[in-house]
Structure 1
Amino acid sequence: MLSMKGAIIYTGKEVIKDAFINFDHNTVANVSNTRQGEMLGEYPVITPAFIDPHCHIGMCRAGEPASEEEANEKMDTFLTLANAIDSVQMDDVSFADSIEAGILYSCVLPGSGNILGGSSAVIRNYGSTTTNALIREAPISIKAALGYNPMSTREWKGKRPYTRMGALALFREKLYAVIKKMEKIAKGTEMKDIDFSREDEILRDILCGKIVLRVHVHKTDDIESFLRFADEFKAIHPEYAIKFTIDHACDVHKIDIFHKLRERNIPVIYGPMDSLAYKVELKHENWKNLRYLLESNVSFGLMSDHPVILQRMILLQLRWFIRFGLSKQQAIEIITAKNAWILGIDTILGSLEPDKWASFVCWNGDPFDLTSYPVTVYGEGRLLHL
């Protein structure tokens, strides 16, 4: 057993003062007022490791030209078989920067140039290769995109939308084609007589809510469009229940749509904040829009969208939440417990609780003080930065 003392420990669920994190190998035994093992150090503040639920780290790599980035595959509009992990390179120097800043886990997704861009991957930023970086406990999710981005890729290969209605029309076409095949099977048609591909299987699982869609969308009416889209298929058959998160939502500047998402238990992965509003559909983007996110009580996490803002800066975005009245504990919970819950990895990460991974960050002072920084970082009980 090993022990680490913190004058203040943010567990991801509560604040405990003058206590010890006791851990055995790679998991937490407990957070206690009693030391239960070999003392490794004492620090002013200890927090859980931070989690980025939406980024392109390892795909858009520091020090490499934009022509070599791999976030978007340009060969087709629908890429259900693509997987983000296959384009991640762990020698991206941004990983080392993130580890030093206490961000140890990432959900890496394809970009938003395609209507369906491929599967996401939840990884350890400290993995030596993509194989041992991959956290296999994470449930599968697939990147989808609405709004301006899929409209902006007309010169890429495949059947491309020129409008918002065109993008959803193409998506409908795909799903209705799968439904037609499923109806034939339900009527007793032999499988050998139907070309039911692996892509069809994935689209079926999207329809039935077995695969979560991570929907890139910024504007209120684009969110409304996708809610109608999901309802359209639900009306066909009760088993068609598309499950999804809303990723970004930075242009939302009224509360109503967040109320709708809360009522339907649809989480928001908000952000990134502190980036330039670089396109028209972000013309209402403002940190003050957080008021609507918070007042609605919708479930939410916070992303970096690296490299839109560097992943190592994700903690700095929390200052805006504190300006709206959140405590420091509540702010830290956003990029620990809440992000873990949305990604479906809260049984192993997100808080310093028994049997969860011993992944934590030791600070020389208050993390929200500009003079403070991590001095020791542990991932699964292993020293990563000193």
Structure 2
Amino acid sequence: MKNQFILIVLSFFILGNINAQQTPASKQTKDYSIVGATAHIGNGKIIENSLLVFSNGKLTYVGNNTSSNQKGEIINAKGKHVYPGFIAANTSLGLAEIDAVRATRDFDEVGNFLPHIRSIIAYNAESKVVETMRPNGVLIAQITPRGGTISGTSSVVQLDAWNWEDAVINLDDAVHINWPSTFSRGRWWLGEDASLKPNKNYSKAVNTITDFFTKAKTYLSGSKTPKNLPYEALEKVFSGTQKVFVHVNGEKAIVDVINNFNKLNIKNIVLVKAHGAHKVAELIKNNNVPVILERSHRLPDNEDQDYDLPYRMAKILTDKGILVGLGMEGEMERMSARNLPFYAGTYAAYGLDKEKAVQIITSNNAKILGIDAKTGTLEVGKDATLFISEGDALDMRTNIISNAFIQGRKISLETHQTKLWKRYSNKYKNQ
């Protein structure tokens, strides 16, 4: 019986190691030089025949290829392309593993006003879904809660870590609010009219949000008794050191968001999704409000809109002078986050300059998430978080990554998907 028990334990141990995510890369101990690649800096600039050198996790040289500046291990990238690590904003990556299994879903807490709930505590660095991001160049993500009126706080992580403490880059970067819709549909399952009509409760819902912030401001400027955790969680919002991401759609709702937060003297806001933003672009620009767009691969909101409006939205807003980033909220959002570069590629196919499309998922997202001092561009002094692609990284046909680094650590590009691909490729090769 004892031997049988030992065999069972060993079997679980072996199977666990077979199925587990690969071990995170160790700290960089030797210098690297990437030689000859076309370097996409992430700020709109390109360097042909470039040289990138990094040591102790930081870039020490970025410029033209000269042998005198090469040091450490040489990586010949002639004919290839090097990019900053792509950054996925507004994603619940690592907060759920299998959509159909409730026990693996931890992105939505019970309650309605939860600014004190921190998504980072629930982040699973060993998620099988997380490891599938890296072969497409997605190396950083903003882990965002869902649900309620105030969902909680997000944090920004790098995607090769033992746990959330190792992963975090920007802790509790923003509070997320779901702004009410100006329109609603009836509940057809209760026999109500399911057509779209004005939301009768819109004003009441908006007043509830502004009242909550007003009471929090009063509480924070007073004796703070009795203790109120949700109110205390907004202290950094009022001081301007923490951002407010407002998930909102429709031009009237966008105008209401900006006007109401101006009255509350909260300036550091970001609009998320923001369907209809092109109709109130001047207001958004004049208030210096960035926009995190939804994925480009979707249908227009209304029947009278151009079929390709979602594809052109990044160019429209960029041309208006608005800082635009790209988020991943929506159906299958965790699994689809690996396609981040291809959504940006669609914006490029519909008029946006190719390097500006790269900026949307590198330097622009970095600025909006407050990590641009560390990453987002290939510049001396910043983290060596980057990858080498065989071709255009925004094209799924040519985004074939040979090497990737996070903070100078050479990371594995193997996943359970690549293992299955190799396995069945060999099967049919031998037939």
Superposition TM-score tier, normalisation by shorter sequence: 0.7 to 0.9
Contact 1:119 1:141 (8 Å CA) reproduced: yes
Structure 1 residues 342-377: Cα deviation after superposition (integer angstroms, max 9, x where no partner): 111111100111111111111112224443111211
Rounded Cα–Cα distance in structure 2 between residues aligned with 1:41 and 1:84: 38
Structure 1 residues 196-239: Cα deviation after superposition (integer angstroms, max 9, x where no partner): 53332233443443321111112211111112211333xxxxxx
Aligned to 2:164: 130
SS of aligned partner of 1:58: coil
- What displacement does 1:335 show? 0.7
Rounded Cα–Cα distance in structure 2 between residues aligned with 1:139 and 1:121: 5
Which amino acid counterpart does residue 66 of structure 2 have in structure 1?
T
Which amino acid counterpart does residue 130 of structure 2 have in structure 1?
F
Rounded Cα–Cα distance in structure 2 between residues aligned with 1:166 and 1:281: 29
The range that moved more, 311-320 or 143-152, is: 143-152
SS of aligned partner of 2:254: helix
Contact 2:220 2:231 (8 Å CA) reproduced: no
2:272 is aligned, of 241, 247, 250, to 247
Contact 1:51 1:340 (8 Å CA) reproduced: yes
1:168 is aligned, of 197, 206, 229, to 206
Which amino acid counterpart does residue 33 of structure 2 have in structure 1?
S
SS of aligned partner of 1:121: strand
Rounded Cα–Cα distance in structure 1 between residues aligned with 2:113 and 2:99: 30
Rounded Cα–Cα distance in structure 2 between residues aligned with 1:208 and 1:354: 31
For residues 49-64 of structure 1, the aligned pairs below 5 Å read: 49-62=85-98
2:126 is aligned, of 87, 91, 115, to 91
Alpha carbons of 1:378 and 1:180: their partners in 2 closer, same or farther (altered >3 Å)? closer
Alpha carbons of 1:369 and 1:104: their partners in 2 closer, same or farther (altered >3 Å)? closer
Contact 2:384 2:406 (8 Å CA) reproduced: yes
Please say which structure displays the higher CA radius of gyration. 2
- What displacement does 1:276 show? 5.7
For residues 191-340 of structure 1, the aligned pairs below 5 Å read: 191=223, 194-233=225-264, 240-249=265-274, 251-252=275-276, 255-275=278-298, 286-305=310-329, 307-308=332-333, 310-340=336-366
Alpha carbons of 1:265 and 1:139: their partners in 2 closer, same or farther (altered >3 Å)? farther
Alpha carbons of 1:384 and 1:281: their partners in 2 closer, same or farther (altered >3 Å)? farther
Structure 1 residues 173-215: Cα deviation after superposition (integer angstroms, max 9, x where no partner): 22232344456x3xxxxx38x4253332233443443321111
Which amino acid counterpart does residue 52 of structure 2 have in structure 1?
I
Unaligned runs of 5+ residues in structure 2 are 1-30, 188-198, 414-431
SS of aligned partner of 2:234: helix
SS of aligned partner of 2:42: coil
Tell me the percent identity.
20
Contact 1:139 1:343 (8 Å CA) reproduced: no
Contact 2:181 2:249 (8 Å CA) reproduced: no
2:116 is aligned, of 81, 93, 100, to 81
Rounded Cα–Cα distance in structure 2 between residues aligned with 1:358 and 1:329: 20
Which amino acid counterpart does residue 57 of structure 1 have in structure 2?
L
Alpha carbons of 1:130 and 1:383: their partners in 2 closer, same or farther (altered >3 Å)? same
Please state if 1:144 is matched with 2:177.
yes
Aligned to 1:34: 66
Aligned to 1:11: 41
Aligned to 1:237: none
Rounded Cα–Cα distance in structure 1 between residues aligned with 2:182 and 2:144: 15
Please state if 1:119 is matched with 2:165.
no
Contact 2:220 2:232 (8 Å CA) reproduced: no
Aligned to 2:138: 103
Q: What is the root-mean-square deviation in Å for CA atoms of aligned residues?
A: 2.9
Contact 2:88 2:327 (8 Å CA) reproduced: yes
Which amino acid counterpart does residue 91 of structure 2 have in structure 1?
C
Which amino acid counterpart does residue 207 of structure 2 have in structure 1?
A
SS of aligned partner of 2:132: helix
2:101 is aligned, of 54, 65, 76, to 65
Alpha carbons of 1:90 and 1:224: their partners in 2 closer, same or farther (altered >3 Å)? same
- What displacement does 1:96 show? 1.1
- What displacement does 1:337 show? 0.9
Aligned residues: 360
- What displacement does 1:81 show? 1.4
Please state if 1:2 is matched with 2:29.
no
Aligned to 2:84: 48
Rounded Cα–Cα distance in structure 1 between residues aligned with 2:151 and 2:99: 24
- What displacement does 1:7 show? 2.9
Alpha carbons of 1:371 and 1:281: their partners in 2 closer, same or farther (altered >3 Å)? closer
Rounded Cα–Cα distance in structure 1 between residues aligned with 2:104 and 2:219: 39
Contact 1:363 1:375 (8 Å CA) reproduced: yes
Unaligned runs of 5+ residues in structure 1 are 155-160, 186-190, 234-239
Which amino acid counterpart does residue 174 of structure 1 have in structure 2?
F
